[in-house]
């Protein structure tokens, strides 16, 4: 599985950005999967932001509920992270990740994921 993030950039506090994660994959015996969004802020550990199971369930970090939304376009194998009401504390490199096999709720711990994108930078100014 290859993952490519896009959509990062600069935003003002209170603004919005939508990140995209395009997945390309070889045929697999697995049909279900999870996709997660993670971020690493300067000087901090990488943390889980949001995740979805291919059958629909989603999961969010408690601190981000209500501001971030994860979604998928199954026909295009593209996964989105809509980020609203951005705060300077959201400044980080954002990564998408993939694991085969569904899980409910989809996990937010990075050790559950096997495939990672290169990341896209998000910078929020006050």
Q: What is the dihedral of CA 60, 20, 94, 65, to 10 degrees?
A: -20
pLDDT of residue 25: 83
pLDDT of residue 29: 76
pLDDT tens per residue across all 126 residues of the chain:
999 999 999 999 999 999 999 999 877 777 899 999 999 999 999 999 999 999 989 999 998 878 999 999 989 999 999 999 999 999 999 999 999 999 999 999 999 999 999 999 999 999
How does pLDDT run across 113-126, given as a tens digit for each residue? 999 999 999 999 99
pLDDT of residue 27: 74
pLDDT of residue 28: 76
Contact 58/50 with Cβ under 8 angstroms? yes
How far from 73 is each of 41, 44, 95, 102, CA to CA, in Å? 27, 31, 18, 17
């Amino acid at each position: 599985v290859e993952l490519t993030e896009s959509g990062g950039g600069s935003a003002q506090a209170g603004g919005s950005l939508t990140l995209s994660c395009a997945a390309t994959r070889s045929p697999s015996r697995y049909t279900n999967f999870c996709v997660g969004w993670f971020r690493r802020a300067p000087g901090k550990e990488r943390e889980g932001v949001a995740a979805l199971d291919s059958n629909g369930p989603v999961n969010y970090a408690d601190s981000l509920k209500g501001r971030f939304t994860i979604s998928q376009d199954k026909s295009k194998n593209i996964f989105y992270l809509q980020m609203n009401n951005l705060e300077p504390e959201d400044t980080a490199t954002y990564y998408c990740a993939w694991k085969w096999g569904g899980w409910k709720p989809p996990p937010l711990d990075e050790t559950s994921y096997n495939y990672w994108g290169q990341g896209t930078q998000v910078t929020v100014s006050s």
